């Protein structure tokens, strides 16, 4: 099972929307994933336990050793399909 960490400013609002979309897309694609949320400030301390980091804000909190995907497109709808495809590619 792949693990996805979704981060936004407070770990509540936009990360909930993004996490829901990722769960739904993974289920449709037949991928078994675990999706958790956190604050952007918590990313550096939590990222090592995950396979992918998806952010709805600008991550400038340090260095992580996992792929990072911006999820702004999942919120705006502009380029949403391409962003989700990038996320799914990392999880396959």
Q: Residue 26 catalytic?
A: no
CA nearest to 22, candidates 69, 57, 78, 67: 69
One-character DSSP codes across 5-68: EEEESSSSHHHHHHHHHHHHHHHHHT--EEEEEEEGGGHHHHGGG-SEEEESS---S---SS-E
User: How far, in whole angstroms, is CA 70 from its chain's centroid?
Assistant: 8
The residue annotated as part of the active site, out of 5, 8, 22, 43, is 8
Which positions are annotated as active-site residues?
Answer: 8
């Amino acid at each position: 099972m792949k693990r996805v960490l979704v981060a936004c400013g407070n770990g509540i609002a936009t990360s909930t929307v993004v996490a829901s979309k990722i769960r739904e897309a993974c289920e449709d694609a037949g991928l078994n994933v675990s999706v958790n949320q956190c604050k952007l400030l918590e990313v550096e301390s939590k990222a090592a336990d995950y396979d992918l980091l998806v952010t709805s804000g600008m991550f400038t909190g340090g260095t992580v050793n996992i792929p990072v995907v911006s999820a702004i497109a999942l919120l705006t709808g502009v380029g949403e399909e391409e962003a989700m495809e990038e996320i799914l590619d990392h999880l396959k």
